[in-house]
Amino acid sequence: MHSVNHDPDVVLLKNATNHAQLTLAQFRQYFKKYPESALVKIAVINDTQTIDRIVAHVVKIEQNSLTVLIVNSPEVNEAFYVGTMQFSLTQVEDWQVVDKQGHVYGAYIQKAMHSIGQKRGIELPSNYRYLCPCNCCCNSPVKPISSVFT
């Protein structure tokens, strides 16, 4: 059994988060083109002083922060409400933008989760595929996603 710090699945997810942070410049470019589809996954501290995650629509990106629209409030955190809030870009754990043709950019944690599921033998739909145009890993459900983060 792997320890938590060396579990390959945990490492893959951490690498996905790191990759999302390293590609924030790309996120900014895609946001300018397709702002209506931009989402981020943000780490926040909840009322029980543990890390929670929220997914929110991006309204505006500034130099070191972003404004997001939260459409449902976390049940354990009264500080967050439905409406707009501002966060530091360092809190972004993942980002996703979809272009007009349906190509998905970012979504690194989602891709890692699907890779983990495949490795564990969880059957994905036969027509499942990412529509990412980079052809690095996304267009083939059998190619290891870990190659993207190394």
Model confidence pLDDT, tens digit, residues 96-106: 998 888 888 99
Q: Name, in order, each residue with C-beta under 8 angstroms of 13's C-beta and a sequence gap of 6 or more.
A: 109, 112, 113, 116
DSSP state of 116: H
As a whole number, mean pLDDT of residues 118-128 equals 70
Per-residue pLDDT for 113 more than 90? no
Length of the chain, please?
Answer: 150
Per-residue pLDDT for 8 more than 70? yes
Taking the C-alpha atoms of residue 91 and residue 20, their distance in angstroms, rounded to an integer, is: 11
Helix (H) / strand (E) containing 115: helix 108-119
Residue 135 lies in a domain: yes
Residue 129 lies in a domain: yes
pLDDT confidence band for 142 (50 / 70 / 90): very low
How many domains would you assign to the chain? 1
What local confidence, expressed as pLDDT, does residue 4 receive? Answer: 54
Residue 1 lies in a domain: no
Residue 3 lies in a domain: no
Q: Range of 17's domain? A: 8-149
Per-residue pLDDT for 147 more than 80? no
Q: How many CB atoms lie within 10 A of CB 16?
A: 24
Cβ–Cβ < 8 Å for 33, 99: yes
What local confidence, expressed as pLDDT, does residue 50 receive? Answer: 79
> What rounded mean pLDDT belongs to the chain?
77
Residue 39 lies in a domain: yes
Residue 2 lies in a domain: no
Residue 139 lies in a domain: yes
Q: What's the whole-model pTM score?
A: 0.73
Count CA within 13 A, CB hemisphere, residue 133. 7
N- to C-terminal Cα distance for the chain? 23
Residue recorded with tokens 């043709």: 101
